[in-house]
C-alpha cells in the first residue's frame, strides 16, 4: 500500500464538464489515479462485467489500493470513467464501511471486539494497540502516519480470540503482551 | 364466427381492463395501472410523498399504503397494480394508523417547532395536519443534515427539513438527466449529497431548479427565503399568473407568483398539465426573470437633448440647453463598442459560489457592472408620451414625404408578441408605405426559411418536440447546442436517448450532446454541405433511400443524385475532417431509422452558404422520406420566444402574414381593404432586409426599432454602430437604454412580457397566450398601446382596444391562423394551421402532401463552397460564435439578472488545451483576439469542447463583443451573415497589461476570484 498522495484541497475539474462556468481546469491540481497500470487493470476488470456501472466496487478497490483511501476527487474520477454521476459514486462509497473516506495509516489494523473476543479480553488488546501504535483513539492515525486502529464486528475466528487484521494479513490469538512484538515487525 | 369474436373480445376485455372497487366506488382501469393511478382518476386523494407523476416509482416512503381485500398486509398504492375484483380502502383504520406512524417517524428528525400552529407550510406538513399527528414529538436525534449550497444565488438548501423522499434525486437524473444529487451514507446518517464534494458546479448542475420544483418540504428551495413568505404559503398560494417564458423558442409555460406589483418568483405548472415543457424550466426561465424589475427599467419616454418644440414643430437645435457639442448629433459620453472591446477585463471567477454577502460587497450591487452606466442617460431628457409620440410622428411623416417611404425602415422584435409585430408591420406598410420591415430572424433562421420555402413552401417545423422525445428512433442534430440554447428541449432529447433513441450530432464542438451521442460528426466549420452530400452519397450507394417517397412526393431527385455523386465519404472526409467510416455509419443509422427526426439551428444557418447547407439537409430528409410521419420531425429549432410568430405575422420584408407575398396585387388589395388604406399606399416592392438596411449606401435614413439591439447583434458591429450614428432619425422602443437605444432621438419605455397580454409562437408552431401579471414601471406602457397610439397618429385606422382584438384581425387575414382567438388559447395553446373555429390544430404536417402547387417537394442540388474567410498564415484560427447557458443574446435581460450574471459574469473565449499550452496561456488569462475587422480582449477558458485551431466566442458581452470580429459576408438568398466562421489570430496579453489593477477599483475589495 502506498501512502496517500497527490491530493490537495477539494476542488477539481468536473467529471462530466457540461458547460458554462464549469469548464475551468486550472483549479488546484489533482493527480488522476486511473492512469498507466491502474487504468490497464480497470480495463481488465471492465471486460468481466456486463455494464460499466457493475464494475464500480472493484474500481473503487483499485483506487483505494493505489491511494490508500477514496477521496472526493477520486470519486469524481471514477464516476467519469464509469459514466456515472459523482453523487452516485459517493453514495456507494459512503454506504460501505470498508472504503476509507479519509487517509489512513500505512497499516490499517482491525480488531475484533464481538462478544467471544470481548469475553477473552479484546478490550485490553485494543487499548494496547492504541498505546503502542500511538494512535490515541480508534479511527485516528498515528503521528508517524503508520497506523490506524479500528474495532470491527466478528472476524470469524472466535476460537482464536482476539484476532486482528493488519491490512490483508490475519493474526490470531493476540493478547496485550504480544502487541509490541507484532508492531515491531512492522516498524 | 361472430360469437367467437365476441367471446374473445369479452375475454380480452376482462383480462386487460380489470374492474375494481376503491372506497366503495367501482371503476375499470387498464391492466398495469397502479392502485394510485386508478384512485387519482376517481379524484380519490391517496397521500404520497416519494411518489411524483412521471418520476420512477420507488415506493420507499410507505405513506400511500392502503388496505386491499384478501391481502393480509397493507400494500403501497403507488407500486401495486390493480386486479380484477379488487376492493381497496384508502382510508381504512389500518392505513390511517400506518400513515400516522410514518409521519410520526419522519417528524422525529424534523424541526417541528417551525411548523405554524394549526397550519402547515408545505406538502409534508399538510399531511401531518391531515392525519392529526402531534407535532410535539421530537427524538433526541439531531435534525437531518445534507450538503448545503452556501452562497448559491439561486438555489438554497435547508436539509434539516429533508425527509429523504428522493424526489429531487430522481427529478435531477430522470427529468433533467443530469444527476447532481444522490443519497449518501446510511441508516440514520443517510442524507442528500451534491456531487462528490458538495459543489454543484463540479457535479454538472445547470441550476434548472427541477429539484426545487419537486421538493415536498422546501428543504431545497429557491432563493426567495421562506422567511419572507407569509406563513401557510402552501395552503394559500399567492396570486399566480400563467405566462410563457420570454427566452428561447421552446415556449415553456411558467407561473409568475405575484405579491403586490412584484414578480416574486417563478414556479412550474403542474407536471401533468399539457404544456410544451411538462412544467420544467431551465435556469433562465426559473431564475432569470428578475430583469423585469431591474432598476434600469425605463419608466418615462426620453428625448435626445437638442430637440426643441418651436412654433408647434419639433426642430433640432444645437443651442438647446443640455446639449453638448462634444457628443455630435447622435453621440454621448460613452465608449463605443469597439473601444469597450479593447478595455482590460476582470479575471473571471472560478468558483462563483460565494457567501451571499457578495451582494452587499463594497463594490455595491454586482449588477452595476453591466447595468446601464449613469452617463448614458446624459444626452436625454425625460419627456411626456405626447411629446415623444408627436416627435416620432412628425419625423416619420417628414422623411416619408420628403425622401420617400423607402427612406424609412423598422426592426420588429422576435421578443415581442404576435399582436405587436403585426401592428408594427401594419403601421409601416399602411402608414409609411414601405416594406422595409425585418427583425432578427434575418440573423438566425432566414436561410432555413428560404431553403424550406424553395423546397416545400413551408417556413416552420413539420413536427413537435413531444414526438421527438417519445417516438423518434434516431435524432440527427446539426449545429444546435440544445442543452444550452434550448435546455428544456435538450433534456427531452436526453430522455429520448435514455428511452433508446440513437443520437447523431454534427457539430464542430464537442458539446454536451455530442459527448453523449452515439455518433459525433466533428466537422471543420462551414463544411456542412460536403458532409451532408457525403451522407446522401453513401445512402444512395447502399440503396437506403426511400424510393416510394421519392417517386410519389418529390421532384428533382435525379439532379441531386447526380450532384452528390462526387461526394463519396472519402472525398467528404477530405473536406470535413470527419472519418469516412463515421460518415458511413451515420448515414446508415439515419436512413434505417425507421423514425428519424432532423433538428438544426444556427450552426447550419449562419453561413454565407446557409441556404445551401439547409437545402442539402432537406435533400437528405426528402431522399430518406424522414418527414410527414409521426416520429419523423423536421425541426429548425427556433431561437427566440417569438421569432416564428414575428415572421408568421409579416414582420419580414417580402411577405404579409402567413408568408403571402407583397408582390401579389390581389393579396395587397385584401390587406389594403382590411387596413382601410388605398391599394397604392402598400408597396409591391419587397423591402430591405436587416443586413441591407444597416449598410453603407443603404437608402434608409430613419428607423423605428422595437425591442432589438443591433449594435451588439449585427456582424462587423463597429461599422453598424457608425451607420446608426449617421441616421437622420432613430426611435427605439425598449425596456432598457440599450447599446442601440443610446443613439436614439426618442426612446419609448415598453412593457416586459409579464406586464402585458400577448401571444407567442414556439418552435413547434404552438401559439400560446401569456397573461398580464404586473403593471409596467412608472409611465411605461404596454407595447400594443404605444403602437396603436402611433398608428392612429400616422392616420391609419386601428379599430382595436386590446391584443385579443388585434388577434381577430390577424386571424381574418392569415389563412393558417383562421381559427385562432385568445379565448381558444388556454391550456397548451394551438399548433397552427388552425383552419377554423372548431379545428384543434396540427401537431405534425405533410402527411400525404406538401403545401406546394402539385403537393410535391423539390430536391435542389447544391455544391460545397468553403466559408468566405478561411484561416491563413496571419489569422490561423477559426472563430465560432454562439450562446452560453446562462446568457441570452445581447445580454439586455440576462446580464441584469442577479443569478444568471453571477454564473457567467465575465466574457470568456473557449480555446483548446493544446493551443493554449503552445501559446503559454493558462485558464483565465487575458488574450487578444483579432480579425480583419476588429480586436477584443477577453479571458481564456481552456476547454476540451473546441477542436484545435478553433475558438468559440459567446455573443452576449458588450465589453468583448464577438461581432466586432465577425465577417459580414452574406448568403445570397437569405442575406444572413456568416456569424459562424471567420479567421482570427489569438495572442496572450502581456502580464503587466493584464486585467484591471486593484487601484482602479479605488482600493476596494474586488469581486473577482483573481484577487483572492
3-state secondary structure B344-387: CCCCCCCCCCCCHHHHHCCCCCHHHHCCCCHHHHCCEEECCHHH
Q: Is residue A8 part of a domain?
A: no
**C-beta atoms of B945 and A95 within 8 A:** no
Q: What is the CATH number of the domain that holds B234?
A: 2.20.25.90
Closest CA to B121 of B210, B193, B228: B228
Does residue B137 sit within a domain? no
Over the stretch A27-57, which tens digit does the pLDDT of each residue have?
Answer: 457 899 999 999 999 999 999 999 999 999 9
Does A5 map to a domain?
A: no
**One domain for residues B580 and B654:** no
Does B353 map to a domain? no
Residues of chain B with pLDDT under 70: 1-15, 137, 224-237, 349-370, 991-1012
**Among chain A residues, CA nearest to B173:** A85
**B194 in contact with A at a CB cutoff of 8 Å?**
yes
Would you state the cell numbers that stand for residue A179, as one nine-digit string?
502487541
Whether A95 sits inside 8 A of B352 (CB atoms) is: no
What is the domain range of residue A166? Answer: 107-184
Give B298 to chain A, closest Cα distance, Å: 30
Residues A90 and A22 occupy one common structural domain: yes
Could you tell me the three cell numbers for B751? 412593457
- Structural domain contains residue B607: yes
* Alpha carbon of A176: minimum distance to chain B alpha carbons (Å): 34
Q: With respect to residue A156, please indicate whether it lies within any of the assigned structural domains.
A: yes
User: Rounded CA gap, B204 and B194, in Å?
Assistant: 10
Are residues B901 and B776 located together in one domain of the fold?
no
Do A90 and A57 belong together in one domain? yes
Same domain, B276 and B313: no
> Alpha-carbon distance B786 to B771, whole Å?
18
B795 in the same domain as B708:
yes
Whether B344 maps to a domain, the answer reads no
Residues A99 and A21 in one domain: yes
Pick among A21, A53, A70, A81 to test the B interface (most B CBs inside 10 A) = A21
Chain A residue numbers touching B481 (CB-CB < 8 A): 19
Long-range interactions of B499-503: CB distance < 8 A, separation 24+: B499/B469, B499/B470, B500/B473, B501/B472, B501/B473, B501/B474, B501/B475, B502/B473, B502/B474, B502/B475, B502/B589, B503/B474, B503/B475, B503/B477
Domain assignment present for residue B550? The answer is: yes
Residue A122 and residue A85 share a domain: no
How confident is the model at residue A137, as a pLDDT?
92
- What is the C-alpha to C-alpha distance for residues A24 and B618, in angstroms, rounded to an integer? 38
Domain edge (last residue) among A78, A103, A128: A103
B288/B314 same-domain check:
no
What pLDDT score was predicted for residue B15? 57
CB B922 within 8 A of CB B364: no
Would you say residue A69 has pLDDT above 90?
Answer: yes
Residue B48 lies in a domain: yes
Asked if residue B910 and residue B769 are part of one domain, the reply reads: no
- Regarding whether B418 and B464 lie in a shared domain, the answer is no
Question: Locate cell 495572442: which residue?
Answer: B987
Cβ of residue B689 closer than 8 Å to a chain A Cβ: no
Query: What is the nearest CA distance from A172 to chain B, expressed in angstroms?
Result: 31
pLDDT number for residue B497: 96
**Final residue before a domain boundary, out of B801, B831, B861:** B831
The domain in which residue B52 lies consists of 2-130
Q: Give the side-chain half-sphere CA count within 13 A for A153.
A: 2
**Closest partner CB to B903 (pick from A20, A90, A93):** A20
CATH number of the structural domain spanning residue B113:
3.10.20.740
Give the domain CATH number at A87: 1.10.10.1590
Helix residue ranges, H only, B865-987: 898-903, 913-919
Query: Is there a domain that residue A57 lies in?
Result: yes
Contact B202 A88 (CB under 8 A): no
Place of cell 459514466: A83
Q: Rounded to whole angstroms, how far apart are CA atoms B790 and B203?
A: 52
- Regarding whether B39 and B72 lie in a shared domain, the answer is yes
Q: Are residues A96 and A113 in the same domain?
A: no
What DSSP state is assigned to residue B826? S
In a domain, residue A134? The reply is: yes
In total, how many domains does chain B have? 5
Chain-chain contact of B202 with A11 (C-beta, under 8 angstroms): yes
Question: Are B517 and B616 members of one domain?
Answer: yes
Query: Does residue A12 lie within any of the structural domains?
Result: no
Among the partner-chain residues A11, A86, A95, the one whose CB lies closest to the CB of B203 is: A86
pLDDT band at A19 (very low <50, low <70, confident <90, very high): very low
Specify whether A47 is located in the same domain as A86: yes
Backbone angles phi, psi at B193, to 5 degrees: -115, 155
Task: For residue A25, give the nearest of B348, B512, B923 by CB distance.
Answer: B923
- Residue A87 belongs to some domain of the structure: yes
Instruction: State the smallest CA–CA distance between residue B319 and chain A in angstroms.
Output: 50
Q: Has residue B863 been placed in a domain?
A: no
Chain A residues whose CB is inside 8 A of the B198 CB are: 10
Please tell me the pTM assigned to this model: 0.91
Same domain, B476 and B599: yes
Alpha helices by DSSP H, listed for B625-677, are 643-648, 665-675
| DSSP letter for each residue of B403-459 | H-GGGEEEE--TTS-HHHHHHHHHIIIIII----EE-GGGGTTHHHHHHHHHHHS--
Is residue B823 located within the same domain as residue B724? Answer: yes
Identify the CATH number of the domain in which residue B475 sits.
3.40.228.10
Does residue B841 form part of some domain? no
Q: CATH code at B678?
A: 3.40.50.740
- Label each residue of B881-909 as H, E or C: EECCCCCCCCCCCHHHCHHHHHHCCCCEE
Q: Least CB-CB distance to A91: which of B183, B885, B944?
A: B183
| Residue B39 near residue B78 (C-beta atoms within 8 A) | no
Question: For the domain that residue A144 is a member of, what is the CATH number?
Answer: 3.40.30.10
- Same domain as A69, residue A138: no
User: CA A84 from chain center: how many Å?
Assistant: 21
Per CB-CB distance under 8 Å, the chain A contacts of B185 are: 94-95
How far the first Cα of chain A sits from its last, in Å, is 15
The domain boundary residue, chosen from A88, A103, A118: A103
Give the chain B residue whose CA is nearest to the CA of A23.
B943
Rounded-to-integer distance, Cα B517 and Cα A150, Å: 47
| Phi, psi of A82, rounded to the nearest 5 degrees | -100, 10
Residue found by looking up cell 464486528 in the block: A153
Number of structural domains in chain A: 2
Give the C-alpha separation, B882 to B462, whole Å.
Answer: 25
Last residue of a domain, one of A70, A103, A136: A103
User: What DSSP string describes B160-184?
Assistant: GG-----HHHHIIIIIS----EEEE
Statement to judge: residues A34 and A89 lie in one domain: yes
Please report, for residues B490, B752, B772, the alpha-carbon distance to residue B244 in angstroms, rounded to integers and kept in the order given.
18, 12, 11
A79 assigned to some structural domain: yes
ipTM comes to 0.88
Amino acid at each position: 500500500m502506498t501512502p496517500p498522495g497527490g491530493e490537495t484541497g477539494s476542488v477539481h475539474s468536473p467529471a462530466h464538464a457540461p458547460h458554462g462556468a464549469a469548464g475551468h481546469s486550472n483549479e488546484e491540481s489533482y493527480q488522476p489515479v486511473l492512469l498507466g497500470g491502474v487504468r490497464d487493470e480497470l480495463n481488465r476488470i471492465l471486460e468481466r462485467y456486463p455494464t460499466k456501472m457493475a464494475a464500480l466496487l472493484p474500481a473503487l478497490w483499485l483506487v483505494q489500493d493505489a491511494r490508500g483511501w477514496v477521496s472526493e476527487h477520486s470519486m469524481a474520477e471514477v464516476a467519469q470513467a464509469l459514466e456515472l454521476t459523482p453523487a452516485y459514486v459517493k453514495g456507494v462509497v459512503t454506504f460501505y464501511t470498508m472504503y476509507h473516506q479519509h487517509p489512513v495509516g500505512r497499516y490499517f489494523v482491525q480488531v475484533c471486539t464481538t462478544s467471544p473476543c470481548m469475553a477473552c479480553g479484546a478490550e485490553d488488546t485494543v487499548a494496547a494497540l492504541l498505546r503502542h501504535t500511538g494512535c490515541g483513539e480508534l479511527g485516528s492515525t498515528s503521528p508517524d502516519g503508520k497506523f490506524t486502529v479500528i474495532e470491527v464486528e466478528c472476524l470469524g475466528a472466535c476460537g482464536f480470540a482476539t484476532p486482528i487484521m493488519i491490512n490483508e494479513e490475519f493474526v490470531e490469538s493476540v493478547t496485550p503482551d504480544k502487541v509490541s512484538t507484532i508492531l515491531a515487525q512492522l516498524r | 364466427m361472430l360469437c367467437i369474436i365476441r367471446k374473445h373480445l369479452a375475454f380480452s376485455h376482462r383480462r386487460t381492463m380489470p374492474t375494481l372497487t376503491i372506497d366503495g366506488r367501482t371503476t375499470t382501469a387498464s391492466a398495469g395501472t397502479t392502485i394510485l393511478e386508478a384512485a387519482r382518476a376517481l379524484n380519490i386523494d391517496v397521500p404520497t410523498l416519494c411518489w411524483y407523476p412521471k418520476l420512477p416509482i420507488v415506493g420507499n416512503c410507505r405513506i400511500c399504503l392502503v388496505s386491499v381485500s384478501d391481502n393480509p398486509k397493507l400494500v403501497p398504492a403507488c407500486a401495486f397494480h390493480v386486479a380484477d375484483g379488487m376492493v381497496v380502502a384508502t382510508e381504512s383504520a389500518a392505513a390511517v394508523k400506518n400513515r400516522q406512524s410514518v409521519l410520526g417517524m419522519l417528524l422525529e428528525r424534523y424541526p417541528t417547532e417551525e411548523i405554524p400552529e394549526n397550519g402547515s407550510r408545505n406538502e409534508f406538513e399538510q399531511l401531518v395536519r391531515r392525519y392529526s399527528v402531534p407535532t410535539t414529538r421530537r427524538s433526541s436525534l439531531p435534525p437531518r443534515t445534507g450538503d448545503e449550497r452556501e452562497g448559491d444565488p439561486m438555489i438554497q438548501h435547508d436539509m434539516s427539513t429533508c425527509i429523504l423522499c428522493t424526489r429531487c434525486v430522481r427529478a435531477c437524473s430522470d427529468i433533467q438527466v443530469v444527476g447532481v444529487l444522490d443519497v449518501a451514507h446510511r441508516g440514520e446518517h443517510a442524507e442528500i449529497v451534491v456531487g462528490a464534494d458538495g459543489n454543484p458546479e463540479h457535479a454538472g448542475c445547470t441550476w434548472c431548479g427541477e429539484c426545487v420544483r419537486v421538493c415536498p418540504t422546501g428543504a431545497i428551495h429557491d432563493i426567495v427565503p421562506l422567511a419572507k413568505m407569509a406563513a401557510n404559503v402552501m395552503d394559500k398560494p399567492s396570486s399566480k399568473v400563467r405566462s410563457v417564458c420570454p427566452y428561447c423558442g421552446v415556449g415553456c409555460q411558467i407561473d409568475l407568483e405575484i405579491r403586490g406589483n412584484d414578480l416574486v418568483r417563478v414556479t412550474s405548472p403542474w407536471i401533468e398539465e399539457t404544456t410544451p415543457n411538462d412544467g420544467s424550466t431551465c435556469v433562465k426561465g426559473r431564475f432569470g426573470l428578475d430583469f423585469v424589475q431591474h432598476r434600469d427599467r425605463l419608466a418615462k419616454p426620453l428625448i435626445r437633448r437638442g430637440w426643441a418644440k418651436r412654433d408647434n414643430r419639433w426642430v433640432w437645435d444645437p443651442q438647446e440647453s443640455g446639449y453638448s457639442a462634444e457628443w455630435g448629433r447622435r453621440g454621448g459620453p460613452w465608449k463605443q463598442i469597439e473601444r469597450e472591446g479593447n478595455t482590460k477585463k476582470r479575471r473571471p471567477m472560478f468558483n462563483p459560489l460565494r457567501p451571499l454577502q457578495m451582494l452587499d460587497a463594497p463594490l455595491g450591487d454586482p449588477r452595476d457592472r453591466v447595468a446601464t452606466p449613469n452617463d448614458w442617460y446624459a444626452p436625454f431628457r425625460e419627456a411626456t408620451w405626447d411629446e415623444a409620440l408627436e416627435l416620432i410622428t412628425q419625423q416619420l411623416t417628414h422623411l416619408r414625404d420628403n425622401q420617400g417611404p423607402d427612406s424609412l425602415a423598422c426592426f420588429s422584435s422576435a421578443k415581442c408578441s404576435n399582436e405587436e409585430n403585426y401592428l408594427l408591420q401594419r403601421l409601416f406598410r399602411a402608414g409609411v408605405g414601405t416594406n422595409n420591415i425585418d427583425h432578427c430572424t434575418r440573423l438566425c433562421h432566414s436561410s432555413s426559411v428560404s431553403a424550406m420555402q424553395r423546397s416545400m413552401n413551408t417556413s416552420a417545423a413539420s413536427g413537435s418536440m413531444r414526438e421527438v422525445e417519445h417516438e423518434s428512433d434516431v435524432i440527427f442534430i446539426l449545429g444546435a447546442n440544445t442543452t444550452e440554447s434550448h435546455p428544456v428541449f435538450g433534456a427531452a432529447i436526453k430522455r429520448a436517448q435514455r428511452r433508446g433513441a440513437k443520437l447523431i450530432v454534427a457539430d464542430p464542438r464537442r458539446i454536451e450532446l455530442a459527448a453523449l451521442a452515439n455518433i459525433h460528426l466533428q466537422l471543420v466549420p462551414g463544411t456542412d454541405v460536403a458532409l451532408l452530400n457525403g451522407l446522401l452519397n453513401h445512402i444512395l450507394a447502399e440503396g437506403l433511400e426511400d424510393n416510394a417517397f421519392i417517386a410519389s412526393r418529390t421532384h428533382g431527385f435525379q439532379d441531386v443524385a447526380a450532384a452528390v455523386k462526387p461526394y463519396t465519404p472519402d472525398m467528404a472526409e477530405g473536406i470535413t475532417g470527419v472519418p469516412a467510416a463515421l460518415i458511413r455509419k451515420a448515414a446508415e443509422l439515419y436512413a434505417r431509422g425507421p423514425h428519424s427526426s432532423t433538428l438544426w439551428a444556427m450552426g447550419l444557418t449562419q453561413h454565407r452558404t446557409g441556404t445551401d447547407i439547409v437545402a442539402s439537409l432537406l435533400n437528405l430528409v426528402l431522399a430518406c422520406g424522414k418527414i410527414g410521419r409521426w416520429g419523423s420531425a423536421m425541426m429548425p429549432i427556433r431561437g427566440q420566444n417569438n421569432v416564428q410568430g414575428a415572421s408568421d405575422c409579416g414582420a419580414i420584408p417580402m411577405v404579409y402574414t402567413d408568408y403571402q407575398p407583397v408582390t401579389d396585387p390581389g393579396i395587397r388589395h385584401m390587406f389594403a381593404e382590411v387596413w382601410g388604406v388605398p391599394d397604392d399606399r402598400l408597396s409591391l416592392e419587397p423591402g430591405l432586409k436587416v443586413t441591407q438596411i444597416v449598410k453603407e449606401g443603404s437608402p434608409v435614413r430613419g428607423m423605428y426599432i422595437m425591442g432589438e439591439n443591433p449594435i451588439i447583434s449585427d456582424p462587423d458591429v463597429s461599422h453598424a454602430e457608425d451607420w446608426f450614428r449617421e441616421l437622420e432619425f432613430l426611435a427605439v422602443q425598449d425596456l432598457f437604454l440599450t447599446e442601440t437605444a443610446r443613439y436614439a432621438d426618442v426612446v419609448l419605455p415598453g412593457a416586459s412580457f409579464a406586464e402585458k397580454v400577448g401571444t407567442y409562437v414556439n418552435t413547434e408552431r404552438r401559439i400560446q397566450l401569456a397573461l398580464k401579471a404586473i403593471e409596467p414601471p412608472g409611465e411605461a406602457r404596454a407595447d400594443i398601446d404605444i403602437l396603436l397610439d402611433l398608428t392612429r397618429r400616422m392616420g391609419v385606422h386601428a379599430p382595436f382596444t386590446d391584443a385579443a382584438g388585434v388577434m381577430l384581425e390577424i386571424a381574418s387575414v392569415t389563412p393558417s391562423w383562421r381559427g385562432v382567438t385568445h379565448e381558444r388559447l388556454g391550456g397548451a395553446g394551438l399548433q397552427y394551421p388552425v383552419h377554423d373555429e372548431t379545428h384543434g390544430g396540427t401537431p405534425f404536417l405533410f402527411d400525404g402532401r406538401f403545401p406546394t402547387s402539385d403537393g410535391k417537394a423539390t430536391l435542389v442540388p447544391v455544391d460545397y463552397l468553403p466559408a468566405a474567410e478561411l484561416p491563413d498564415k496571419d489569422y490561423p484560427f477559426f472563430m465560432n460564435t454562439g450562446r452560453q447557458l446562462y446568457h441570452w443574446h445581447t445580454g439586455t435581460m440576462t446580464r441584469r439578472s442577479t443569478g444568471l450574471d453571477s454564473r457567467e459574469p465575465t466574457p470568456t473565449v473557449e480555446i483548446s488545451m493544446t493551443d493554449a499550452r503552445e501559446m503559454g496561456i493558462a485558464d483565465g488569462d487575458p488574450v487578444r483576439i483579432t480579425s480583419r475587422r476588429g480586436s477584443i480582449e477577453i479571458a481564456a477558458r481552456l476547454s476540451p469542447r473546441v477542436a484545435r485551431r478553433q475558438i468559440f466566442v459567446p455573443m452576449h458581452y458588450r465589453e468583448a463583443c464577438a461581432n466586432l470580429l465577425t465577417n459580414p459576408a452574406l448568403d445570397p438568398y437569405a442575406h444572413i451573415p456568416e456569424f459562424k466562421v471567420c479567421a482570427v489570430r489569438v495572442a496572450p496579453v502581456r502580464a503587466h497589461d493584464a486585467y484591471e489593477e486593484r487601484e482602479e477599483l479605488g482600493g476596494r475589495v474586488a469581486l473577482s476570484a483573481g484577487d483572492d
